[in-house]
Amino acid sequence: MREQIRKELSKRGIKHKWIYQHIGVSKSHFSHWLNGERELKKEHVDEILKLLEMDKSIDK
């Protein structure tokens, strides 16, 4: 899931700051999540998918 989100952010030129500010997590927490070092709550991941208009089924 995180790799698909990372690719989508890059493809669209969306800054990580825009995402972590919108979902209400710190820069470091979001960065650690993208690097696989921490987890995000499901509701935060769902909010990212909503913001990026991505299908929630990509994690299955």
| Structural domains of the chain sorted by starting position, each given as residue range(s) with its CATH number in brackets | 2-59 (1.10.260)
> Which amino acid is present at 56?
K
Give the per-residue pLDDT at 56. Answer: 76
pLDDT reported for residue 60: 47
| pTM to 2 decimal places | 0.87
Which contacts of 3-12 are long-range, i.e. CB under 8 A and separated by 24 or more positions?
4/54, 4/58, 5/34, 5/48, 5/49, 5/52, 5/54, 6/34, 8/52, 8/54, 9/52, 12/52
- What is the chain's pLDDT, residue by residue, as a tens digit (60 residues)? 899 999 999 999 999 999 999 999 999 999 999 999 999 999 999 999 999 999 877 654
Whole-angstrom distance, CA of residue 34 vs CA of residue 48: 12
Identify the pLDDT of residue 17.
97
